[in-house]
Each structure stands twice: as structure tokens, then as C-alpha cells.
């Protein structure tokens, strides 16, 4: 029998086997410990994602890479650890192209689920909008390199019946990427291919015909059970006194879906109207600010010069600015053009609609807003006070924030109300 010792986790004493994996010991006590790469049966552990970082005797270290030894003093739940883990997940989101609203794995994706669990509403790092390949050459799989977080799970775990590896890492440092051996991939059974898709913690490995087999709404992270206390926006300064609060809304490079969601609060709208009035907004058709506003709700990012002017006017005239929806938060679907130079986008858009007699004509006029080189998130242009993710955000999430701000009610959301897709 292995030697036992006593260690302290978050100030409480536990018995554990000397040499056992610290991540296993922590999880066995039902203490929350995030992980994206760890599998207990892979020894030595991969240690690639670092989201399981804890403090041991005051020093931060990835728990899954540590073996239990006597005298350990472990902390798993401090504000700076929460911030470090959140920062790591934000970096993973910013480093790849994680367009959850259009991703086949959405709802079943561990990276996405961890983003929810850690309360990530926005990445504090700029999105890189990388342009890696999507590989359709494998027989059963599609490999979407833009979503790979290089956790190494597939490299270690996916083998043919005779033990040949299917995946490997090639290149080094920033250039590291997963390579697939097409010959070995073709020898995988359907079951083995599906397992590869499921062990990938993101939507980087998909199996043709099976990636959408489980319907949305019935996926792993669609469970409505959990409740989240997200960071909250600053309180209103009551710029307009104790009377009705004044709200302005706009849609920049968006589709009006977020506005539809705002209206989707159904009969609660009647309560809202008692407490607020709308100023500049497509809902009122008021086109300029006629008074200072307490809350500005922004849908969409900035794709052209007009979007930038409108956003700046909202910042100037609103006490609290809320970016609503993925397009306002990081660019959303319009930002899919960020991987392609603007000139190429315009050529592609207009070369097929060209009047042969006139040749290629790209519309341009002094009254047409100028297209920006790429789509910008709102917080790249002005300071944003709060973010409500989703495509579109859930109606009750928007409503709960308004109740928090206007009626000063407590603010928590459920898993079903906190979504990136
Ligand atoms: S569902 Fe997961 S893999 Fe897909 S885009 Fe979102 S975070 Fe990335
Ligand atoms: S393809 Fe998936 S499993 Fe493989 S390294 Fe990338 S994220 Fe990890
Ligand atoms: S789970 Fe520990 S480093 Fe990834």
C-alpha cells in the first residue's frame, strides 16, 4: 500500500497518497479545478494548457504536473488564481478563430464550457484573426487548425489497432501545429474517429456526417442547471435624477438580432417602459441624442467610418456603455473578413456582379461610409463598461442587467442565459 500523508487544501487537511497526482486528489474532494489537457492515464501528464494552475506553498504551478508530497499547502481558489485562469482562457480564445455561433462543436466544447464556468464575457487580449488551413483531405475527419489549442491529447491518444499514431506535432514554438497522417487516419474505425472528435477539447477535430449528430439544446453545456455570478457593471450615477432612466440603443455592423432579443423579453417590456424611456434608438426612430442617457446599448462592431462616429457619440452621451452580442464584443461574424485583405474581399464581392460592359466597379461615393481595413470590436475604439455575450444574447440576460442597473436587483444568470452562440 502506498505511503499516506496529510496535505492542506484551502486551509483544510486531507489525507492523500504520497506520489499521487495532485489534480486527482483535488478533484476527488469535489473541489473545482479546471482542466483542458489532463487525462489521469497519461503519464507523464501533458501539462500543456496550464488552466489547472493552483498555488503550492504560495507558488503558482499546474496541479496536474505535481505529485503529492508531505507538507503541501495548496490553494485552489484565490482571486488572483481566478484571474490567471480566466486570462489563460481569454488568450486561447484570442489566439485562434473561435466563432462559436458558427462552430459545429458549440455546446459540446470544453474550451467554451470553461469560458462559461470562469465567467469570460470578453477577452482582454486582441483577437489575432489567424489564417490557418481547414484540412478536408483526411478520409473521415476535417481538421480545423484555427480552433486547435495544441493540447496534445490527439497526439497521445489516437492510434490505429496496431498502435500507429495518427496525429503528431510539427514545427516549434509559435509555429507548432498538429499534423495528421492521412494513411493512418483512413485505417481508423468509425468508432475510433468519433473518439478522436470527442477527446479534442475544442472543435478542431470533426468527423464528417457526425459533428452535428447531437442536436443543439441537448449538448453537454446546454444544461440549464448551473447559476453564475458574473462581474457586474458599475452602478448608475443617476445623471437624470430619480426620474425614469434613459436608454439609447444602436446597431453598428450587426444584424439587429440583439435588438430582437431585447424585444424578446415579452411582457416584461411593459414593466421596463414604466421605469425607462428610450432616446436615440432604432426602436424610437430618434436619430440624434436629445438628452444625456444613463445606458447605451451597442449591437455590432465597427466595419466602416459611420460605425465609428456613432459609437463615439454613444460614448460621449451615455454614462454606461454595454456591448451586447458577439459582434460588438469582438467583431462576430462580420469579422470573418479580418483574415482576408479588404481589397480581396471587395474583388470577390463585386467581380461576380460586374456589368460586363462597365467592367469591375466597386461602389464608392462621398456619401457612402468608408469601409475600415478590418472589423473592430467596440472596446478597440472606446471604453466599454460591460459585455453581454451571445449570438444573439439571451433575452433574459439583457433583462437581468437592466433590472440590476435600473431597479438595483441582484444579478445572477443561469447556464441557459449565458451563451456565446
Ligand atoms: S465552440 Fe469551442 S471550438 Fe468552437 S468556436 Fe467556440 S470555443 Fe472554439
Ligand atoms: S486537434 Fe484538438 S486534441 Fe489535437 S492538439 Fe488540437 S485541440 Fe488538442
Ligand atoms: S489540465 Fe493541467 S496543464 Fe492542462
pLDDT at 44 over 80: yes
Q: What is the pLDDT at residue 272?
A: 86
pLDDT in tens, 242-265: 689 999 999 999 999 999 999 998
Q: Which of 51, 141, 148, 157 to mutate to test the pocket of ligand 2 (most atoms within 8 A of CB)?
A: 148
Please count the other Cβ atoms lying within 10 Å of the Cβ belonging to residue 347: 13
Q: Is the separation of the CB atoms in 298 and 311 below 8 Å?
A: yes
- Band (pLDDT 50/70/90 cuts) for residue 362 is confident
pLDDT in tens, 1-10: 689 999 999 9
The arithmetic mean of pLDDT across residues 397-405, rounded, is 92
pLDDT in tens, 213-243: 889 888 988 876 677 778 788 887 765 666 8
Instruction: Tell me which of 228 and 206 has the higher pLDDT.
Output: 206
Nine cell digits for residue 100: 462559436
Q: Is the separation of the CB atoms in 219 and 212 below 8 Å?
A: no
CA 104 – CA 134 distance, rounded (Å): 14
* Ligand 3 atom closest to 47 (CA): 3
* Ligand 2 atom closest to 199 (CA): 3
* Ligand 3 atom closest to 151 (CA): 4
Question: Can you give the length of the chain in residues?
Answer: 421
Nine cell digits for residue 350: 463585386
The arithmetic mean of pLDDT across residues 102-116, rounded, is 95
Pocket of ligand 2 (CB under 6 A): 148-154, 178, 200-202, 204-205
Q: What is the pLDDT at residue 353?
A: 67
Nine cell digits for residue 116: 462559461
Gap from CA of 217 to ligand 1 centroid (Å): 16
For residue 67, the 8-state DSSP code is: B
* Long-range contacts of residues 57-66, Cβ cutoff 8 Å, at least 24 apart: 60/84, 63/22, 63/23, 63/26, 63/33, 64/21, 64/22, 64/23, 64/35, 64/37, 64/38, 66/21, 66/22, 66/23
Q: What is the pLDDT at residue 259?
A: 96
Q: What is the pLDDT at residue 253?
A: 97
What residue ranges define each of the domains in the chain, with the CATH number in brackets? 4-77 (3.10.20.740), 99-222 (3.30.70.20), 227-417 (3.40.50.700)
Under DSSP, is residue 94 helix (H, G, I), strand (E, B) or coil? helix
* CB of 330 shorter than 6 A to ligand 1: no
Q: What is the pLDDT at residue 1?
A: 62
Strand partners, 180: 167
Instruction: Find the ligand nearest to 420 CA.
Output: 1
Q: What is the pLDDT at residue 231?
A: 78
* Ligand 2 atom closest to 169 (CA): 5
CA 301 – CA 377 distance, rounded (Å): 5
Peptide bond into 252 cis (omega under 30): no
Give the predicted TM-score (pTM) of the model.
Answer: 0.94
Instruction: Find the ligand nearest to 46 CA.
Output: 3
Give me the chain's average pLDDT, please. Answer: 93
Instruction: Find the ligand nearest to 144 CA.
Output: 2
CA-closest residue to ligand 3 atom 1: 35
What is the C-alpha R_g of the chain? 25
Strand partners, 7: 14
Q: 268-275 and 395-407 helices cross at what angle (nearest 10)? A: 30
The arithmetic mean of pLDDT across residues 104-133, rounded, is 95
* CB of 49 shorter than 6 A to ligand 3: yes
Amino acid at each position: 500500500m502506498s505511503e499516506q500523508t496529510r496535505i492542506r487544501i484551502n486551509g483544510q487537511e486531507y489525507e492523500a497518497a504520497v506520489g499521487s497526482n495532485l489534480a486527482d486528489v483535488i478533484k476527488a474532494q469535489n473541489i473545482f479545478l479546471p482542466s483542458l489537457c489532463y487525462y489521469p492515464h497519461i503519464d507523464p501528464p501533458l501539462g500543456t494548457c496550464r488552466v489547472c494552475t493552483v498555488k503550492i506553498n504560495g507558488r503558482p504551478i499546474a496541479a496536474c504536473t505535481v505529485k503529492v508530497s508531505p507538507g503541501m499547502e495548496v490553494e485552489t481558489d484565490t482571486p488572483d488564481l481566478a484571474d490567471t485562469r480566466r486570462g489563460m482562457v481569454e488568450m486561447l480564445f484570442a489566439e485562434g478563430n473561435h466563432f462559436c455561433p458558427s462552430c459545429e462543436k458549440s455546446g459540446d466544447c470544453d474550451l467554451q464550457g470553461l469560458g462559461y464556468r470562469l465567467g469570460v464575457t470578453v477577452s482582454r487580449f486582441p483577437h489575432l484573426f489567424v489564417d490557418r488551413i481547414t484540412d478536408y483531405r483526411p478520409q473521415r475527419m476535417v481538421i480545423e487548425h484555427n480552433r486547435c489549442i495544441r493540447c496534445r491529447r490527439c497526439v497521445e491518444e489516437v492510434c490505429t489497432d496496431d498502435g500507429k499514431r495518427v496525429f503528431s506535432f510539427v514545427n516549434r514554438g509559435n509555429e507548432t501545429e498538429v499534423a495528421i497522417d492521412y494513411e493512418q487516419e483512413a485505417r481508423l474505425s468509425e468508432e475510433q474517429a468519433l473518439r478522436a472528435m470527442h477527446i479534442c477539447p475544442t472543435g478542431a477535430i470533426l468527423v464528417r456526417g457526425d459533428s452535428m449528430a447531437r442536436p443543439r439544446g441537448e449538448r453537454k453545456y446546454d444544461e440549464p442547471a448551473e447559476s453564475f455570478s458574473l462581474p457586474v457593471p458599475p452602478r448608475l450615477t443617476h445623471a437624470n435624477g430619480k426620474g425614469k432612466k434613459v436608454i439609447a440603443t444602436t446597431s453598428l455592423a450587426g444584424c439587429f438580432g440583439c435588438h430582437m432579443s431585447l424585444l424578446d423579453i415579452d411582457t416584461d417590456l411593459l414593466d421596463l417602459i414604466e421605469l425607462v424611456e428610450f432616446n436615440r434608438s432604432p426602436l424610437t426612430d430618434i436619430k440624434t441624442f436629445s438628452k444625456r442617457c444613463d445606458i447605451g446599448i451597442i449591437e455590432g462592431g465597427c466595419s466602416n467610418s459611420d460605425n465609428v462616429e456613432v459609437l463615439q457619440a454613444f460614448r460621449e452621451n451615455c454614462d454606461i456603455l454595454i456591448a451586447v452580442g458577439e459582434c460588438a464584443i469582438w467583431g462576430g461574424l462580420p469579422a470573418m473578413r479580418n483574415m482576408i485583405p479588404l481589397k480581396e474581399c471587395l474583388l470577390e464581392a463585386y467581380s461576380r456582379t460586374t456589368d460586363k460592359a462597365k467592367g469591375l466597379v466597386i461602389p464608392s461615393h462621398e456619401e457612402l461610409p468608408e469601409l475600415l481595413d478590418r472589423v473592430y470590436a467596440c472596446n478597440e475604439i472606446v471604453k466599454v463598461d460591460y459585455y453581454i455575450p451571445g449570438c444573439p444574447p439571451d433575452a433574459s440576460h439583457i433583462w437581468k442587467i437592466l433590472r440590476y442597473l435600473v431597479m438595483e436587483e441582484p444579478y445572477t444568470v443561469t447556464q441557459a442565459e449565458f451563451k456565446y452562440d
